[in-house]
Structure 1
Amino acid sequence: MIQLLCLGWIIGIATMGKTFPILQSLLIPLLCLFTLSLFFKKMVLKHRLSGYFKCVQLCLAFSLGITLGHHYANQQLHERLQLREQQMAQVEVIAYVKNLNQLSEHSIKQNIQVLNQQADEVQWQALLRNEVDSNQQDHLELGHYYRLYGKLLPAHSYATEGVFDIEQWYIQQNIMADFQISSMQKLSEQQVYALGYGRYVRQQHSVLNQIQLYIEQQRLALRDFIHHAPLKHKGLLLALLTGDKSLLSTDIEQLFQRFGMSHLLAISGPHVLIFAVLVCWGLHQLICRYRPELYLKWPKQYVLILPFCSCVALYCAFVGFEIPALRTLLSSVLISSLVLLKQKIQPLSILLFSASILLIFDPFSILSAAFWLSYGACFVLLRIYQTVQQQSSEQAIQTRTQMLKTQLKILIESQWKIFLALFPLMLIFFKQIAWITPFSNLFAIPWIGLIIVPLDIIAALCYGIFAPLGSVVFQLNDLCLSGLLLLLQLLDWLFKPALQPIAMNIWVWLSLTLGLIILFLPRGVVPKVWSVLCFMPLMTLDASKNEFELTVLDVGQGQAIFIRDQDQTLMIDMGGNYDESRFSVGKQIILPFLSVQGVNQLDQLILTHLDQDHKGGYESIRQDLPIKHVYSNEKIQTADSSQFDYCQQGLNWQWSDRVKMTVLSPKAENLVYAPAEKNEMSCVVYLQLKHAQPYQNFLLMGDAGWQTEYQILQDYPELKVDVLVLGHHGSRHSSAYYFLKKLHPKLAVASAGFHNRYGHPSTMLQSRLKDLNIPLLTTVEQGSIRFIQKQHQISVEVQRDARQWLKH
């Protein structure tokens, strides 16, 4: 029953950010019913419990866990959201630096504690330039106070389904805003006292805060030591030791990504355990040599439990209490407690209890991929461990060769099982997979786990005792890493591995996940053949049953529109960043969105014109996404599998008996002007949907302005429009008053970026729409805007309604 209560608690916490009125109203009734059931079990029924009563009680425990988790998660979220900054502004702050910074090629990210913006201190992420010729005083130093001047930048996500949610990440990390520093002034503690923050200064002098500061200073000292040491792979050594990627090169990080081994660059449970085992092994040798009588008084495991747990706690503190390390700490404490109390250890219960306790102290860790991947991998490893234990009890004593074969078999079995079990989670968080991962892990995990990480830890311990000795061990480990990277680069040259985007909608994903859960459950719980039924949707999915949908994606300052009807798919523009090499709209927005829609190829793509904010995303994924037909007002380079045609007036598609699309502009004879007049020569697309209410006719204007609007009214005087996607992102030079009045759409949509420098949609345009009583939706305020057909009714869904932190 306790296990079900914990499982329900975890599921309830996982609903964070969503609102379920039924759960809000059931808390008190469920709590009363559960308490009543415990009373009946204890005082009335006692040992005469029927199977029906047990089933009801288990259901009550599970439901109560979900309800409690949901209430607790959303209460914590509400409190944190109250501290989040919403508006850009130039501000002056008083700040304290207590955490190690994160270096990158061009910037330094430093979490700071801001004292003068809320009633209590809040955490912001300060941004500084990382310049080679910058002076030391330009960096924020640990343990110091500052008066900082700069620009406050609220977090703002691309609110598009399937895309990495930066606002969620900031909430999970407890960062309330970004802060771009323009100037700084160091303050003494006396000055901070005089400003009225004496209570905070006294708090930082507490023993716990001083220990935390000391650990951060040691992490910084170790990073500086590795940075200046004569090492070839200093960034990789540091990442494997502490999880700090400040010195890691982009090439190495991309190499690990291509092999699906990025998780090895983060701190995990094995890192912590290796450190604890090494220290306890050394302590054991000392006891055996100098005080063996201790083992006559207490069993060995009792003597070493406290040092083991202390080592785990110390390493967790050293790596900043990352989630996998915390999971290991909690599990170690629980197992140690059971050992001391002489209770039976149940691995699955340990996982549930440790996850539940972790979520009490930090419910926001449920939002992290590390939480799910860490516990998912542990669940699979425990299932493998249980199987091995069962087999070992049935077999006779093995020879050394047989034991070696068994270990090799376990390694191979664990890799493909972990790969399969975590496949659904990888799709949720990353939307792509590296098929070579199970094979590369076969040699990478033993090499890193048995050689690299132990040597890294020994080198760090030696550095703490005698720095030159630590340098020697680091150099030895550097040679071991060179061997591993040489092998990876050889395999990279031979097989050319790459991350493959996977397209799978939510229902197929749920079916796949359920099938895999059934496969990994212990025998006898559920018949394994049931998993085959769950995998059927993967083979029998009928795309022709898709309803009509049109989605204006939130791609920032740009435009991308996805249209689907039955088995036909089309996109109009793909957005684009000014520098796709730094942030790719195509790879980081378009492909993830198509992935969760279950779309792995497009029938048509219309690039309204070749401005970067409309075609840049296409350029970056041209070779990754098959497209049958590409249209534009200018010739553009396409993949070999794509056919190109000019987009011109009169071009039309009759997708089905209910959907027709027509290009209204530009005229064929005007295409020669497209290179010079990109905006006015934009492809204007008109979509007609039969038997639908209240929105039947959609007009998509691209970046067309007043000249094109006038021409359209001349060529199509009877044009009917229900939804108008405004031209040029809602610029004041488009959507003329007469044009809007003549068409008078039921709804206007503007695709624009948050706080864009152009001021789109313009206040002048908004004033016109208000005068004409035309409602306006924008991707800035609503995120992606989706028109979806259900029966004959077209409803509007906006992505910023999906989670509480996305709502402004």
Structure 2
Amino acid sequence: MSFLLLLLGWIVGILTIGNIFPSTFQSTFSFVAAVVFFLSGIGLLRPFFKAKLSYSPIYRSIFGILLSLSGFFTGHFYANAQLDQRLAKRVMHIEQVDAIVYISQISQWVLDDPSGAKIRQKAVVLNQAHSPMLWTLNIKEELPYANMLPGHYYQVSGKVRPAHSYAVPGVFDAEKWMLQDNVMATLQVKTIQPVTANEVSNLGYNFQQFIEKQASWNARLKLAVEQKRFDFRDYLSRQPFQQKGLLLALLTGDESLLSKETQQMFKRLGISHLLAISGPHVLIFAVLFCFVINLLIKRFKPQIYLKIPRPYLMLLPFVLCVWLYTAFVGFEIPALRTLLTVILISTIILLQQRMRASSILVLSAALLLLFDPFSILSAAFWLSYGACFILIRVYQTIQQKSEAATEHEQVQTWRDKTVLWLKVLVESQWKIFIALFPLVILIFQQVSWAAPFANLIAIPIIGALIVPIEVIGAFLWLLFEPLGMLFFQLADACLRLLLWMLGCLDSLMASSLHWFAMTPMLIFMLSLSVLMIFLPRGVIPKGWAVLCVVPILLGVKHDDAFRLNILDVGQGQAIYLHMPKHNMLIDTGGNYDESKFSVGQQIIIPYLMQQGVKHLDSVLLTHLDQDHSGAFSRVAEEIKIDQVVSNQKDQRFDGYPFEYCHAGQVWQYGQVKIEVLSPQSADLNQVANNQNELSCVLYIQALQVGKGYKSFLLMGDAGWEAEYQILQRYPHLNVDVLVLGHHGSQYSSSFAFLKQLHPKLVIASAGFGNRYHHPSPITLARLQALKIPLLTTIDQGTIQFQLDHNHEMQIREFRSEKTWLRR
């Protein structure tokens, strides 16, 4: 039990990776860690001197807490030390480069791309830092040498871009994803030229060290595995199979041949996890291989079992098969989890020890995080281990029923066993669905109601039929290609049947993928409720779970008097304003190429869902430029909108109560006052020809603020002309926070305007590396001359102003909350 507490503390400590604590808290943190380590050391020795004390419940409780804290601090410092090492290699600027790269793994083909098929290739870059690092190369298919071969060196040129994600609560963190994948940058490749190892060696000493390392036996083995993966994909791509993409994905985890249509259907049905390699895939291969070995031994050398019992003899080939398959699928987390678990179980068997299944799973998770602490940043880690824990609980229930049946001397027929197997399948699916429900909402904000039914159909067919056929086919393909071809044809036929069944389910359950508007606190309450349901009987009354669900059923209640979030939407603007009994979205961000990236789908909606917002009282669009209003239609598909306000009307607003914004309008919600300063109502007929200058300019005042920023001026895309008119009409305007017009363009935020207002803080909403170079160096010079501080969504991410219970306005910068997001 003590060892388990230590492991759990270690895992929780790893979970703190990248979290930034105040400096005073950090020093206290380090001091407490030192004290805990000291006391834990004494605690380990004390039972030898006072044996009676070691059995005291109080002593055991204190010692357990100390062990957990020891594991926590060890995990925390270890994970963050690893993070600092990895971040030291990351690229920070956009620039043109010439790089020497080594290809250690096969590429990924991107089908159904609007710009044509492209290739994504991970490559080890040798000449851009003191040590090699991994970049992702984006390659156009028509380039010479576009299909880069594993084991070869190339000289490439192009524009390198650092990882840069949208720092918005609830939104997918691309920087975290790339960090977990150990990718330091992406390179848009312009030219590719093969070079030899000798040519690379002549460039420097470090290159020679790297080349020698690639000659080691383990590097050659990995390269051989990658070459086989490449050969297998190349073989399947040339075959007339209808479902070659699924054949490849299910066998190797490579989605290069998978159509976007199939991927979208699997996502709608909530079974995208089946496209990744899972533990059963790996075990099926190992079981089949060991089954063949067992038959050969029984046929030709059965006397071997007299010297070495069969369970012990089969351990080595079983572990070896699991390792080979894990390597073949690129050491994905579910496969790696299975490998570690198999090694642990094999060790326990060899040592003739006993360990609970849940303890083995915790130990494998702890070991995985020792080898790769960044795995904890992956959704696959949590979903994979979460599903395993539920399956263990299901297995324990089955075992108890079997033991009860044995005690009553009941003989189970094949029919009883079939019924039991079906019950287990159904029970495991609904339990996994319910148990992982809070986790799925937390990660994705979306849940597919079709998932339990789709899994009931897909898992037995894929796990018990298609994958074994594919594994046998792949093995035979290595020995005799025509024979392997027959098995692949059979697997292809099974996949066509499966897709037909899934297609029927997809059509029956249209729109099964559902967004959930739940705050982190409500998700925590839901998780607590689910935990109570799955705890063994007698621990906690199951009825208590209902109490945790009550706040969710009553709906989200925000007691914030004022909260204004300037969202990081790239080159555009979107501002969420929460007031007592009123939610307003000011601008929605842009609409550039929805097939590549949707601001509405991938930023605005997830953010609002994470805030618990399924309904907006009003959407105010400062003007209809696409970077301010482009995402409106997509947002309106998921969010109920009561009213639209703008300086211009178009067909997107049909069906919504609409109001033109103009100077003189005032809205007040509690102690929050919103006033429109521009345009004049007489100028609205000129908006079509002068959208930017006639943007709706909003002046927001939080009247109850006792300390901090009280007044905010949002300029939209208004420029010098509008600024001049505002200064004339409102000469005594008091502004604490100014959101710069036109993203900080040189044609807005004039020196006179900034000088007269002299806000305490200005903010520019602009995109990283944008082609307009906003905010303009000229605007920055004006701010510097006037000594006005500047924040940008580029450097700070989402910027939040929130009134606390002491009537003080607090400011929060979301790029300051994770180490990898800091600039």
Same-fold call, TM > 0.5?
yes
Q: Is the contact made by 2:587 and 2:622 (CA closer than 8 Å) also made in structure 1?
A: yes
Q: 1:34 to 1:511 in 2, by over 3 A?
A: same
**Contact 1:259–1:497 (CA<8 Å) still a contact in 2?**
no
Matches of 2:557 and 2:582, distance apart in 1: 9
1:536 alignment counterpart: 550
- Taking the TM superposition and a 5 Å limit, the aligned residue runs for 1:477-516 are 477-516=491-530
Aligned-residue offset at 1:125: 1.2
Does residue 1:580 correspond to 2:581, yes or no?
no
Provide, for residues 538-580 of structure 1, a one-character-per-residue CA deviation record: whole Å limited to 9, x for no partner. Answer: 1345625233100000000000000102332110011114212
Q: Which residue number corresponds to residue 7 of structure 1?
A: 8
Q: Which moved more, 1:191-200 or 1:785-794?
A: 191-200
1:131-142 equivalence runs, <5 A: 131=142, 134-135=143-144, 137-142=145-150
**Structure 2 equivalent of residue 262 of structure 1:** 272
Could you tell me how far apart the structure 2 residues matched to 1:544 and 1:341 are? 57
1:301 and 2:311 aligned: yes
> Which of 66, 70, 76 is equivalent to 1:64?
70
Distance change in 2, residues 1:542/1:368 (3 Å): closer
- Check the 8 A contact 1:730/1:765 in 2, yes or no: yes
Per-residue deviation at 1:403?
1.8
Q: How big is the shift at 1:523?
A: 3.0
Equivalent residue for 2:135?
Answer: 124
Q: Which of 795, 803, 808 does residue 818 from structure 2 map onto?
A: 803
Alpha-carbon distance, 1:48 to partner = 5.3
Task: Show the counterpart of 1:406.
Answer: 420
Question: Structure 1 residues 650, 147: closer, same or farther in 2, change over 3 A?
Answer: same
* C-alpha distance after superposition, 1:50-103 (max 9, x if no partner): 110000010001111111100000000011111111111212222111111111
1: CA distance between counterparts of 2:18 and 2:36?
22
User: CA contact under 8 A between 1:107 and 1:129: conserved in structure 2?
Assistant: yes
Correspondence for 2:792: 778
Aligned residue among 36, 42, 63 for 1:36: 42
**Equivalent in the alignment of 2:90:** 84
Which residue is 1:694 aligned to? 708
Whole-angstrom distance in 2 between the partners of 1:605 and 1:625: 11
State the shift of 1:231 in Å: 0.6
Q: CA deviation at 1:329?
A: 0.5
Aligned residue runs from structure 1 range 407-806, under 5 A: 407-541=421-555, 543=557, 545-638=559-652, 642-656=656-670, 658-692=671-705, 693-791=707-805, 792-806=807-821
- Alignment equivalent of 2:51, drawn from 45, 54, 71: 45
CA deviations 1:616-635 (Å, max 9, x no partner) are 22222321221111122221
Q: Specify which of 132, 144, 159 is matched with residue 152 of structure 2.
A: 144
Identity %: 48
| 2:20–2:817 CA contact under 8 A, matched in 1 | no
Q: Which moved more, 1:221-230 or 1:11-20?
A: 11-20
1:110 pairs, out of 103, 118, 121, with 121
- Contact 1:787–1:794, Cα closer than 8 Å, also in 2: yes
CA apart distance, 1:46: 5.5
Which ranges of structure 2 fall in alignment gaps of 5 or more residues?
A: 112-116
1:18 paired with 2:45, answer: no
Alpha-carbon distance, 1:209 to partner: 0.4
Deviations 1:292-325 (A, max 9, x none): 2233333321121111111111100000000000
Matched ranges for 1:293-442 at <5 A: 293-395=303-405, 396-442=410-456
Residue 114 of structure 2 is matched in structure 1 by none
Paired residue secondary structure (2:643): strand
Q: Secondary structure in 1 aligned to 2:800? A: strand
Equivalent-residue separation in structure 2 for 1:255 and 1:339 (angstroms): 42
What whole-Å deviation, never above 9, does each CA across 1:146-186 have from its counterpart, x for those lacking one?
22222221111111111111111111111111112221221
Q: 1:287 aligns with which of 286, 294, 297?
A: 297
Paired residue type of 2:675 = T
Q: Distance in 2 between matches of 1:447 and 1:392?
A: 26
Q: Structure 2 matches for 1:165-180, cutoff 5 A?
A: 165-180=173-188
The more displaced of 518-527 and 681-690 is 518-527
Q: Equivalents in 2 of 1:686, 1:9: separation in Å?
A: 50
Match for residue 249 of structure 1 among 232, 254, 259: 259
Between the two proteins, the alignment pairs up a number of residues equal to 804
- Structure 2 counterpart SS, 1:84: coil
Query: In structure 1, the residue corresponding to 2:631 is in which secondary structure?
Result: helix
1:543 is paired with a residue of what secondary structure? coil
Kindly indicate whether the alpha-carbon contact (under 8 Å) linking 1:626 and 1:641 is maintained by their aligned counterparts in 2. Answer: no
**Distance in 1 (alpha carbons) for counterparts of 2:659 and 2:69:** 57
The alignment partner of 2:201 has SS state of helix
Question: TM-score, structure 2 length as denominator?
Answer: 0.95
* 1:167 to 1:48, Cα distance in 2 relative to 1, 3 A: closer
Q: What TM-score comes out, normalization by structure 1 length?
A: 0.97
Matched letter for residue 678 of structure 1: Q
Q: In the alignment, is the contact (CA less than 8 A) between 1:160 and 1:554 conserved in 2? A: yes
Quick one: distance in 1 between partners of 2:665 and 2:479? Answer: 76
Contact 1:103 1:130 in 2 (8 A): no
The question of whether the paired residues in 2 share the 8 Å contact of 1:98 and 1:113 is answered with: yes
Counterparts of 1:389 and 1:65, CA distance in 2: 33
CA distance in 2 between partners of 1:181 and 1:477 (Å): 37
Q: Give, in angstroms, the shift of residue 639 of structure 1.
A: 7.0
Q: Write the deviation string for residues 102-136 of structure 1: whole angstroms up to 9, x where unpaired.
A: 110332111111111222211111111124xx54x
CA distance in 1, matches of 2:549, 2:742: 45
Shift of 1:651: 2.9
Look up the SS of the partner of 1:605 in the other structure. strand
Q: CA deviation at 1:23?
A: 3.1
Do the aligned partners of 1:3 and 1:349 also contact (CA within 8 Å) in 2?
yes
Q: Is it true that 1:55 corresponds to 2:61 in the alignment?
A: yes
Whole-Å separation in 2 of the counterparts to 1:246 and 1:728: 41
Gaps in structure 1 of 5+ consecutive residues: none
Contact 2:556 2:612 in 1 (8 A): no
Change (3 A) 1:36 1:381: same
Tell me if structure 1 keeps the 8 A contact 2:592–2:598: no
SS in 1 for 2:213: helix
